[in-house]
Structure 1
Amino acid sequence: MMEKGQISAWQFFLLVFGYLLGTSFFFRPGGLIAIAKQDAWIVPLWAGTAGVLMSLIWIKLANHYPGLTIVQICIKAAGKGVGGLIALLYIGYFVHLSSFVIRNLGDFMTSTLMPRTPITLFHIMFLLIICYAVTMGVETLARATEFLFPLVTLILLLVFFIALSEWNWDRFQGMFRMNVWTTMKDTRSILGFPYMEAFVFMMLLPYVRSKVKVSFIMGIVVATLLLSATVYFTIGVLGVTRASHETYPLFLIAQEIHIGTFFEHLESTIALILLASIFIKLSIAYYGAVLGICQLFRVNDRSWLAFSLILLISGLALGFDNVLENIEFGKRYDFEYTSLYAIIFPSILLFLTWMKQNKGKQKPGTSS
């Protein structure tokens, strides 16, 4: 199946930015602050630098195979057998990532806003919307992101400015005392989530009209700066002790906002931001899974396939017991697990491509 849609550099930038910042600004600050204390805002900066370097590998690989997604590149570079197996592993990762993201949404809704509602109901309802967006194509996803971007930005800025009344500079006492190597080792999971997960954009690169490299890197850079600013803001408003013991520190900040009797309990606005952000991230991962299956198995109609994946992904999402298990999985295995797809496989494919090109250059010389 060939995707006929095309997206602009600006739309691609928004997709990258929304995908990376999507759930990380909500789920990351507490864990980072627990490890790095007052210096936690520095961690996204080095992780973002590594993210830019990794994106250069992906772009380099894509440049060797213009117009092809990562699934097609696997088969082209490594052959139908081995390449097909690697492509299948990529599709499996996209499905697993989708189930992980939708479970995060379900855990948040049941633990904070609607505890009596079955978690599966949130999964099915949200996946139905995602399924419809994916069947409409990449242009629809890009336009939806364009629509949501100003809404999310304005609400987030509103919450930030109102919460500044609780700011206290004393909460930064003890800054720049971290052991750099130990902190990098303990926070390596931030490389996996969100930066390494951005390799899913290799499914979208063929449909970007122009300035792929610039928009990709700028999306990573801007998302990194805002994630760092969010962590800094959380420390200044809540302090290290409170922030490190909260699963959703930003939600707590919104919950405690009070300006008279008019502005109070703004947690529902934060929930809207999270829903919009998860829509962006989940739709891209879901799209990667659907398009990958269609390309690998040469399926022409993606509608029934996209609908069928709802059952698979919602079922897999129930494999995690609770949000704490998700966090523990991320801490222990996310970096190692995701590096297989984001670094090891792309490096192998680049090496195979280089070998083929060298072999092609040597043939004319040997014949003469």
Structure 2
Amino acid sequence: MKQGKISALQLFYVMIGFEIGNSIIFGTAAGAKQDAWLAILLSMLCGLILMWIYTKLSDYYPGETLVQMLPKIIGKFLSYPLIVIYALYFLYLACTACRDFGELIASTILTETPMILVIGIFMVLIVYCLRGGIEAFGRMGEIVFPIYVLILVTLWILMLMGAEFDSRRLIPVLGNGIQPVLGAAFPPVQSTLTFPFGETVLITMLFPVLNNKNNIKKVGMATILIGGILLAVNSIIVISVLGPDIYGKEFFPFFTAAQMVSIADFLERFDALIIVMIVSGVFFKVGGWIYGSSIIISQVFKLKSNDSILIPLGVMVTCFSILLATSFIEHLEIALNFIGPYLHIPLQLVLPILLLGIAYTRKKFQA
């Protein structure tokens, strides 16, 4: 399968947009209460180790995706079931990200619009971009991500200036002990290590598209580091506005905190800015998962291009994002009780570590 090439900077923009895409709108590490930022930073450090594992695999099998590495590491017989599981895993997470987006839009600005229509229009934009190839996706990152960060920083400044901001809501640090921080940062339940840092396992599908393979580790580490800092700063500001209790109870605490901004009864109601930022972030999240799944399918069936399967995948994701849960509460419960323990942990943590161990052993004995 022929693939285009993108620069290290473009890959960085795409990956960091993917990493913080829909995670920034949730109460990340809410279980740690006012210490959420500590849980994020702790899991970020472990995320750097995970990224080292992902990129080290690329050192052993340069220019290959995870799908191409698997048969060489564990053999064809064992690899094909895992390849299918990864393709379904990527598609399922695309569905969950679409559902997050649809729920937010339907509950805030388009309350009378059917969610299927909101997600469907959004999916048309994603598929249109992906059909332009990875170069178009990379250029989109180059254009959109700086705007995303500009809006985010603007909203932070406005929150800091608002009367609701009170940094005392962040103390006492470790007032509930270290256990809540560890529980929010690490599995087996939904944790910041697996969401969003572990989701960067997607980078294993993008190794071949980087025009300079020597930059893989730099891009991967920078993605985890910068993304973790942005999420930690965001949690500090949002908790300072809402307080740890509301931060943990609201479905979309960032949106709630930004809506509370009112400077001299003049600067207020920044809903449009928030929606633009969230649409941009979820665009990279959903687009990344669909692209990764399309690459897997294309390489398994030895297709010349992934263009022909992007539209069917877009239709599937749109439909299943609505069908996967009857309500947003049920959707969140599935994420907490099923996705974390049974999908994230084995596919983000356990399997890559095992693959690296086997690859290291193979290379050592071959040498």
How many pairs are equivalent?
A: 357
CA RMSD of aligned residues (A): 1.8
- Supply the distance in 1 between the matched residues of 2:203 and 2:73 (Cα, whole angstroms): 19
Task: Report the Cα distance in structure 1 between the residues aligned to 2:208 and 2:304, rounded to whole angstroms.
Answer: 18
8 Å contact 1:12–1:216 — kept in the other structure? no
Flag the structure with higher helix content: 1
Partner SS state of residue 219, structure 2:
helix
Task: Write the deviation string for residues 296-315 of structure 1: whole angstroms up to 9, x where unpaired.
Answer: 11122422211011221122
* CA–CA separation in structure 2 for the residues paired with 1:344 and 1:199: 12
C-alpha distance 360-173 of structure 1, shift in aligned 2 (>3 A): closer
Deviation at 1:358, TM superposition (A): 4.3
Q: Residue 277 of structure 1 aligns with which residue?
A: 281
SS in 1 for 2:279: helix
Q: Which residue of 2 aligns with 1:100?
A: 96
TM-score, reference length from structure 1: 0.92
Q: 1:201 aligns with which of 196, 200, 203?
A: 203
State the shift of 1:352 in Å.
Answer: 3.2
Instruction: Pick the aligned partner of 1:335 from 333, 340, 347.
Output: 340
CA contact (8 A) 1:75 1:87 kept: no
Tell me the distance in 2 between the aligned counterparts of 1:325 and 1:187. 23
- The Cα of 1:159 is off from its aligned counterpart by 1.4
Q: Aligned residue for 1:54?
A: 50
Cα contact 1:107–1:322 (8 A) shared by 2? no
Q: Is the Cα contact below 8 Å between 1:9 and 1:209 reproduced in 2?
A: yes
Cα distance in 2 for residues equivalent to 1:303 and 1:334: 29
Q: Distance in 1 between matches of 2:16 and 2:365?
A: 39
Determine the structure 2 residue equivalent to 1:167. Answer: 165
Which residue number in structure 2 is paired with residue 294 of structure 1?
298
Q: Which residues of structure 2 form unaligned runs of 5+?
A: none
Aligned to 1:324: 329
Largest Rg, 1 or 2:
1
Corresponding letter in the other structure for 2:183: K
Identity of aligned residues (%): 27
Deviations 1:249-278 (A, max 9, x none): 111122222235642211121011000001
CA gap of 1:349–1:244, structure 2 versus 1, over 3 A, is closer
Q: After TM superposition, give the deviation of residue 182 of structure 1 in Å.
A: 4.3
Give matches, 1:1-368, under 5 Å.
1-3=1-3, 5-29=4-28, 32-33=29-30, 35-164=31-160, 165=162, 166-188=164-186, 189-210=191-212, 211-260=215-264, 262-318=266-322, 319-336=324-341, 337-361=343-367
Asked whether the equivalents of residues 190 and 335 of structure 1 are also in contact (C-alpha less than 8 Å), the reply is no
2:19–2:197: 8 Å Cα contact kept in structure 1? yes
TM-score (norm. length: structure 2): 0.92
* Runs ≥4 residues deviating over 6 A: none
**Partner Cα distance (2:291, 2:37) in 1:** 32
